[in-house]
Amino acid sequence: MLTMKQFSRRSFLSAVAGAAVPAWLANFHQLGAAHYNKVKITDIKTMMLQGPRSYTLVRIDTDAGVSGVAEAYGSPGLGVREEIHGLKETFIGKDPLQIDRLYTGYRYTDGSAHAQQRAMSGIEMALWDLAGKLLDVPTHVLLGGKFRGKVRLYDHSTPRSFFDKAVLRDWAQQVKEAPNGITMHKFGPLRNRPGDDPGRDPSNRMLSTDEVLRIRQGYENCREALGFEHDILIGCHWEFDLRSAIEFAEALADVKPKFLEDPLPVAYSESWKRLANMSPVPICTGENWMRRAEALPFIVNAAVDIIHPDLRNSGGFLENKRMADLADLYFLPVANHNTGSIVNGMASIHWASTIRDYFACETVFFDRTWMDDVIVHDQPLCQDGFVTVPDKPGLGIDLDPDVVKAHLAEGESWWG
């Protein structure tokens, strides 16, 4: 007779094994079977936009005259575009509908090179856009269908002061009147200057006593100005040691942030588990994960409350779907890190619509600037804090050549 521990382990392993070929992926293969080996990849091209960051767009061309477009990682983009072009010959002549094999089977995603993983992530998402166009269905249908018709965004709206009540009131009014209607805002803590605080050592990860008190007061002031109809998220950029992270979380309990992101350094350790156990605030991490194997210890050890991968880092759509399926076994919700252009923003919206327990997608755009106009649209992309999931084939987006050409990085031309 199996013990409960043995049963749990066997059930877990069975569930993970079963998730290796999920039903939605089997349905994609069934839908695409009649089209296999009828279209071949003829070229892979890149084009870089320049804004606050650089943005690496990827296009996969075929002999059917149909192309797929997505975004690989941009800033810092060192090596990413070069890796895409270095991999190109591997894909020429291949069937673009064999996405899992093209992504996984050639072993360019085994963690040996970060730039290569980021390159493959962009290629993989462009393949899904291409597959949707070839099969004449939205990409979200190929990913299993959408649970929601619109996806919530969070932005980086940050007050200029955490302590001036008049400035905070103006900030709160501004975010509440923003045309895109976003009601969830992420911003990090204000640290003391080392010269002003003898307890502040910029070379260690500790919070001084004065910092803890000031940070708590600052966020309480923000909450007072915003009220509770807007959500606060806190990004920490891997700054703290374990005890400081616990103290930080405890100090913010009354502010009720929806998550505390990246409070500890990136790699998994038992300290993440201790933090999640002791924190009164949900703990979130994941933007640096390259594959689901890096998410695994966080999930199975209950060391995180919300997983937060970036599609451009973590393998594109399929790998991140598998990661989300793993998180779902432990009843953990999913959010998306996204500092990409509007192209990756819309790709993330497609993917997010297919995740059952989904929280929100980060954005630094969707604010009715030139970046929104990189893709053709006839109404504001973000309304009331949500983006509607496109229902046209593929990702359902078309680039506007005039806007793109006006914002190309130095030395770039339209699809190079």
Lowest average pLDDT, out of 30-39, 71-80, 280-289, 403-412, goes to: 71-80
pLDDT at residue 256 tops 60 = yes
More confident residue, 298 or 23: 298
pLDDT at residue 233 tops 90 = yes
pLDDT at 26: 82
pLDDT at residue 77 tops 60 = yes
Residues 126, 99 contacting (CB under 8 angstroms): no
Residue range 46-67, pLDDT digits in tens: 999 999 999 999 999 999 999 9
pLDDT at 192: 87
pLDDT at residue 9 tops 60 = no
Compute the distance between CA of residue 243 and CA of residue 233 in angstroms, rounded to an integer: 20
**pLDDT bucket at 4, cuts 50 / 70 / 90:** very low
pLDDT at residue 377 tops 50 = yes
Mean pLDDT of the chain: 92
pLDDT at 399: 98
Work out the average pLDDT over 357-365.
97
Work out the average pLDDT over 317-344.
97
pLDDT at 414: 97
pLDDT at 1: 40
**pLDDT bucket at 25, cuts 50 / 70 / 90:** confident
pLDDT at residue 95 tops 70 = yes
